[in-house]
Structure 1
Amino acid sequence: MLIKSLTLSNVRNIREARLNFHENLTIITGANGAGKSSLLEGLTILSSGKSFRTANIKSVISDKSNQLTVYCEALDSRGEPHKLGIQRDRQGGFKAKIDGHAISRLVDLTTKLPVFAIYPGFYEKVSEKRASRIKVFDWGVFHVEHQFFTVWSKYQKSLKQRNALLKQKVSAKSSELAFWTDSLINEGRQLNQMRSAYLTSIMPKFQSLLKRTSLGESIELDYYPGHARSLDLNLALAKSFESDIYRGTTGSGPHRADIRFLSGQKDIFESASRGQQKLLINTLLIAMIELFTERSEQPALVCIDDLPSELDVKNQADLIAALCSLNRTQILLTSITESSLPEAISGYNRVMFHVEHGVFQQRNLQ
């Protein structure tokens, strides 16, 4: 969806705000605590029901308010108008609508409004945590492989049930354990197949983009399935059963998967500098969004919070240029001041807002 306007109520210090977005680039400036991040937070809540900053939705709702509301008017790839809205309350409940029709699954919002958020600490988290890397990768798989969420949800249920039985130290011959293990294997194989197919699709784009960077070498993406490649998942689970029982958790499977960056057979990511790691992550992200817009013919929205704090000026300019060159990609970025952003920003069609104490005012472009 291409967002035309966004309305927020009671999102942290934003009591009431309405902004008209540019179809390409929307920039928000303001001091720390003014409301920049809260705007992006509202967008991620509209897209997924969740904040990128906290799992505690109650802390996102403005003081003395019982609920927050985020609403947008948007256009699909055919130019048809749509309306999406969500309310979250302090008890954790939600009400959401798409074009006036109530929905019961937050995933329906995610499908309609693909939002990818880069926030302070994002690169560090993705660099250091396997789970964060696969989460980024799965954003792309979800939006391209339509059965991914269903299979992933079933896998998570099977994993939870199997782990509960392992904690009870059940016998290896337990029929209940066998049932959930078989279910885990079935869904796990499907997850691995979808992730592997997605990686094959994205690899040419990743390598083509990489050649334009300072790395400029042959680096391949590698999907590690969460167990030894020489073993099928059923054999991996059988081999690790004793250790799984001892630990009370399943140690092999797609929930332990990772995305690696290989040069030859060597994983270069851990030995790369911070700047090189960020460059690899950005290259992966751009390749994912390019594939998404090609496959779905729908716009994607990339939100970048406090861009200058995450990237140096050259990498800022390169990331914005790459994103702006993609078809049907809308960008929302924040910065403390306009002068903190690369000069190249002035060459793009854009709209700019300044926020103080949760109040947004559109700025004239210089």
Structure 2
Amino acid sequence: MLRTEETNMYRLLLVLLYIIVLADSLHAAHKKTKVLKNGAKVPKNGTSNELYPKTFSGSRAANTSFHNFSQEHFPFPLELNISSSHVHNYTAGLLSTRIIPAAYVVAILIGIPSNCLVVARLGSKTRSLSSATLYMSLALSDLLLLMSLTLKVHYHLNGNSWVFGELACKLVTACFYGNIYCSIHAHMCISVLRYLAVVHPFLYRGLSKRSCTTWASLTVWMVFTTAMAPELLIRQSYPTTMGITTCHDVLPYEEESYSFLIPYRLCLICLGFMIPFAVIVFAYGSIVYHLSRSSCDWTLYIKASTLVFAIFVLCLTPGNAIHLIHYVRLYTSQQDDFYIYFSAAVCLCCFHSCLDPFLSYFITKTSNSRVEFISLASLSPRTSATV
């Protein structure tokens, strides 16, 4: 049954990807035809319809002709005019060309082998271990995130110049952000499972844990595969007047097709981080509270749970908080300089992905020191005998 559900998930993901790519091609072809019929509909400068996407701002270069189109047939001039000094400093600076790629390389060298080991070890245990499905989902999302960093390392070391084409830029961007949020939601599901085992052990025993974990994992993957569709429908790579082709870092404000990015990104931050963060805080807080009042010695498990939660907060909170601040500044004052801090803070998210296998192993070893969890109700002599 489990293998059938996994096969159906993979088929659904392939169908969704095919629909997204087909819709993208039809949309681009329609816009190109429309502009060729009436080129005046596309503004020749960057002064109209100011919009606020998530990345640095850019406007079309005045000397770019309208008959130039990319190989992907996008209906607007290729070259973006970059005038902000902080954008120049970022693209040519030590942070983006040396420090960030160095951090990515460390995460790749540690994270990919360790997550591959977790996937290999858990592949044969999904039927016997109910939580194995969640740990497998976490390892897969971390693995895909770290694999997307390989092209980003080349991009940063190459002076923030993208050479792999528009489609690869779209896929890397969607894979990068989508799997960050998938990893966060996998942690949320694991924390809820532990919360039920500790605080509501009788409810936990009555659940069909294998079905719950399988459907939770499938739902997370389907939701964020669909949520990343807008990243595949907009152009992500642009040549600039600085002589480089950026990927996702600089986007034109004047394009009408980018007007949805602020509400889309704010919803994504809320769904992908803020809600699961609140759930995880409640779950781990309840676990520590109930175990600290237990008559048994759960000191080691309490320390392990606290460590896992602390690393989750330290690695994932700064990047998402700065991401949110960046949007607020774009919306209120049209300032995009906070994107530099976000690019640096997102490295912590990548380090969390390479630490997940070791944290999962640590927490599993500590939780296996006892067969049963003891809830607050077991403190009374009457119920302790029945637990």
Higher strand share: 1
| TM-score of the pair, normalised by structure 2 | 0.30
Q: Report which of the two structures shows the higher radius of gyration computed on alpha carbons.
A: 2
| TM-score of the pair, normalised by structure 1 | 0.32
Higher helix share: 2
